[in-house]
Amino acid sequence: MINSNKLRLPPSPPALPIIGHTHLLSSRLPEALKTLAHRYGPLMQIRMVNTTYVVVSDATTAEEILKTHDIVFASKFGQGITQHNIYEGLSFVNSTYGKYWRFMKKLCMTKLFAGSQLDQFIHIREQETSKLLNSLEKKSKDGEPCDLSVELETLTQNMICRMAIGRRCLENPDQAMEIRRLIKDIVETAAKFYFIEVYGPLKKFDIFGNGMKLKLAMWRYDELAEKIMKEYEKEEDDEMKSSGTEGKDVMDILLETYKDPDAEVRLTRDHIKYFFMNWSNVLDLVKNGKTNLFMRSRRKEMGPERKQDSPVLKREHVKSPILWEYLHNMLQQEHKQMTGSHKYHGPIIKLINDSNKLRLPPSPPALPIIGHTHLLSSRLPEALKTLAYRYGPIMRIQMVNTTYVVVSAAITAEEILKTHDIVFSSKFCPGTTQHNIYGGLSFINSTYGKYWRFVKKLCMTKLFAGSQLKQFIHIREQETLKLLKSLEKKSKDGEPCDLSVELETLTQNIICRMAIGRRCLENPDQAMEIRRLVKDIVERAAKFYFIEVYGPLKKFDIFGNGMKLRLATWRYDELAEKIMKEYEKEEDDKMKSSRTEEKDVMDILLETYKDPDAEVKLTRGHIKCFFMDMFLAAVDTTTSATQWTVAELFNHPQVFKRLRDEIDSVVGSKRLVEESDIPSLPYLQAVIKETLRLHPPGPLLRRQCFEDMKVNGYDIKAGTKIFINVYAIMRDPSMWIEPDKFVPERFLDNSTKVMDLKGHNYSFLPFGSGRRACLGSSHASFVMHVTVGALVQCLDWKFEGGGKVDIETVKIYSGAIAHSLICYPTARLSLSDV
């Protein structure tokens, strides 16, 4: 059931208990949030201890907040240390949107920072800028260095102080300097707070005493500000005051408003004091030299003449015209000074470009020892797909002490599988290979080299060549008919069947007969035993715990699973050796054919083993391991894909009906569907393709880079292990419409109809692509098409319980279906009539 009231919250990084995302914010907060935004998107959720924030990092979303929904977001939240602020609740800058804030903004725009008031302050800005340049000129002549940060801070403080309490600066410069010092002391004290003093429950206790220090600094400021206000009020000499607003400083205007009985909002003395404290940070940004460079580059494009052209939003910085006027004048005079005869000896900035620093793919925050294992608790392909939405199409994942690069986009997959195919043509071995007695002999997991190229050539020209696959047609037909007869019998007896087991048996029989056909005919018990042993090996390999596969503990076999796997492999080795010897002993011409077309896979491999002129000398271990690879790869993938197809058809009766109608119209009811019918059954092909798209039998392609390479702009070091998440690629919403839905019709469209199973289109990679693509894809395709076609053509189905099939996948590396397909078949066509 879907809860319609469930909120869709912004994405959020994985959080730690108690501290939330604090560990991700160790660097300067804006930069840390910018880095996280690249991973989690322009709108994300961040938790600092017990406080949650939403962070916006792009212009479109910012416009939605600051323009479309401006009134809704017109309030500000108070900063973390407000509990130590003696003026708490009186701030204009941090006040909530309401009557007081609207009144103060109106006062700022019409009097305090109106155009006429700014014009009155021109001489202040010019004088202070000239004073700065004279100071720098003197240092230039004397050859002295200067701390430009201090110079700019002093300039800013002088300008603000003179604009705010101009007469105090002229009459009592020590008093003006003291108030600047006190405000600076307040800022520095506030900056000393530890994180736990600002966020979380400990902020109430002031355990380090910083809260009391801040209050003491503010009380000293309050005393001096009160003294200045009283001195202003006592001054009655007309020569010290101007009757017009133009001759007044900011304190004059605020005190007038304070005494005005008709004012919309009644200001208090604390309102005025705190207003001046807020204002002390008006021009802080000019302390940063980078800002000067930026403003200089933008001066002609957005000059001061445009300072009143743009609309003022509700929470826009109302003092920005002052800032612009100041910067413009300062830069103009700086330009004149720089073009004179004097040299400017500013601080020397050394930019260090570490050309050796690698640009690695992004990575989620990792935990000690286990790395990102805690993020991979669900089925691995799905977990990596979820992480890819946050961290991008190429990312790094650490599993204990092993690091992987995960690719989840078609364009990046193409770069690896096509552009740099040779560099990434090796595979890394799965974690349990240390318990495999054939370690290093596997063709599937071998590195790209002479042996791999030789065996691939053997597969393409002999083992799985077109002529060899045609020779096996009768095997596939016979085994399919055997399956249908078994299901027909169960239909007559009214018995349920486990279709998963039936399909697995079908695939095993086909592979076994292709591999060791004579043993299957002469000694079916021997063939059954080798199938059982291979299945036992697969099941034991699946029982390994995570710590046995990854990390240092994998060497110790602490749960004994490694020994159990080796014992099963030894039993397989004994039986495989026995079969090979029996093949070698057979000399009867009636049991052998000189024609390659009639030989099974064992015949061809033993011929190659005995060939003294072979490019690579195969060992008996190579042959045994090849058969194990063949069983593991072919049986598992083909069975899984066929099971998924049947399950999806059971869950989509309209697709089932359309497929049956197509088969009836093309094949009819007098014969079974055959491999030669496949080109004439486009909807059957579409059903198979759609199943492979949603449920790829190999959801993660394994590759290993054997030399340093750049992929998608990131550095990939030699030896790096790569996962290509085809599960994520084939469910990418940017490539597929409604990617999570089973819609075979999408493959009837002209743009997707041409997609085959060979991996030529990198958004559709059910069997991989490039040099390491699945060599048995053609055989698997034949089995899937004919089996599914026959099951739809000959039988009706009723699923156990009458509901839909549970299409949950097993929570392991593979793409196998998790639950058995228990169903009741009903014969539709009599096999005796076809």
3-state class percentages of the chain: helix first, strand second, coil last, to nearest 5: 55, 5, 35
For residue 619, give every residue at least 6 positions away whose Cβ sits within 8 Å of its Cβ, in sequence order, or none.
Answer: 441, 609
CB-side neighbour CA atoms (13 Å) of 561: 22
Structure tokens at 350: 């050394």
Give how far Cα 411 sits from Cα of 39, 128, 754, 762, 769, Å: 19, 57, 19, 7, 13
Separation of alpha carbons 761 and 772, rounded Å: 15
DSSP 248-271: --HHHHHHHHHH-TT-SS---HHH
Q: How many CB atoms lie within 10 A of CB 339?
A: 8
Dihedral sign, Cα of residue 627, residue 632, residue 638, residue 642: positive
Element (H, E) at 232: helix 210-234
Side-chain-side CA neighbours of residue 577 (13 Å): 9
Give the C-alpha distances (Å, rounded to integers) separating 804 from 115, 357, 651, 656, 823. Answer: 73, 54, 5, 14, 11
161 is in an annotated binding site: no
**Any idea how long the chain is?**
834
DSSP 552-574: GGGGT-TTSHHHHHHHHHHHHHH
- Check if the beta carbon of residue 714 is closer than 8 Å to that of residue 359: yes
Using CA atoms, how far apart are residues 463 and 604, in angstroms rounded to an integer? 7
The one-letter amino acid at 397: I
Nearest-CA neighbor of 121 among 129, 669, 215? 129
| DSSP of 94-112 | TPPSSHHHHHHHHHIIIII
- Amino acid, single-letter form, for residue 630: M
Radius of gyration of the chain from its Cα atoms, rounded to whole angstroms = 39
Which residues face 486 on adjacent strands? Answer: none
18 in the Ramachandran plot: left (φ > 0), alpha (ψ -120 to 50) or beta?
left
Question: One-letter amino acid identity for 332?
Answer: Q
Give the up-direction half-sphere exposure of residue 739: CA atoms within 13 A in the CB hemisphere: 15
413/723 Cα distance (integer angstroms): 10
Cβ(757)–Cβ(781) below 8 Å = yes
The dihedrals phi and psi of 23, each to the nearest 5 degrees, come to -65, -20
CB-CB contact of 10 with 21 (8 Å): no
List helix spans (H) across 235-348.
Answer: 250-259, 269-279, 289-298, 320-338
Report the candidate in 362, 421, 351 with the shortest Cα–Cα distance to residue 392. 362
Q: Closest Cα partner for 240 from 159, 165, 158?
A: 165
Q: Which residues are annotated as a binding site?
A: 774
Q: Which residues are annotated as a binding site for heme?
A: 774
